[in-house]
Structure 1
Amino acid sequence: MEHDELVARINEYSRIARERELTPEETLERESLRREYIGRVKGNLRSSLEGIERKK
């Protein structure tokens, strides 16, 4: 799933949750999408930090 699509799905579940209670299946999918998003952010940050060289 592309980044924009992932964010759009998470946002859609957030919008739905404001209107009504999510079903157990929707809640599980939203949590799964959130974990994937957080994992990607952490991976990107880790890559960026590993690419930094310390000046002496």
Structure 2
Amino acid sequence: MLSQEKLARINELANKKKTEGLTEAETNEQKVLREEYLTAFRGGMRHHIEGMKIVDPEGSDVTPEKLKEIQKKKGLHGR
């Protein structure tokens, strides 16, 4: 996850863009920070999804085979 300082800077730049506008350097900085944020977010989401185990109402494991293979490679859920 991104540091609090970087998140604060993203918000600061977003607010400045709405009120005053950004310089070219600030626009580039904002673009870099957003990409870093999205990369971290996507990585966290992927990690979360890869750790899921899907169970139907009867209690049977119905996790898709593709996900089971990923979990097996990572040693998750004793697979």
* TM-score of the two chains, using structure 2 as the length reference: 0.62
In the TM superposition, structure 1's runs of 4+ consecutive aligned residues that sit over 2 Å from their partners are: none
Calculate percent identity across the aligned residue pairs. Answer: 35
Matches within 5 A, 1:37-52: 37-52=37-52
Larger Rg: 2
Structure 2 residue ranges without an equivalent (≥5):
55-60, 63-79
Higher relative contact order (CA 8 A, sep 6+): 1
**Separation in 2, partners of 1:28, 1:46:** 27
Structure 1 residue ranges without an equivalent (≥5):
none
**Number of residue pairs aligned between Structure 1 and Structure 2:** 55
Residue 7 of structure 1 and its aligned partner are, at CA, apart by: 1.2
> Helix, strand or coil for the counterpart of 1:52?
coil
**Separation in 2, partners of 1:3, 1:9:** 10
* TM-score of the two chains, using structure 1 as the length reference: 0.84
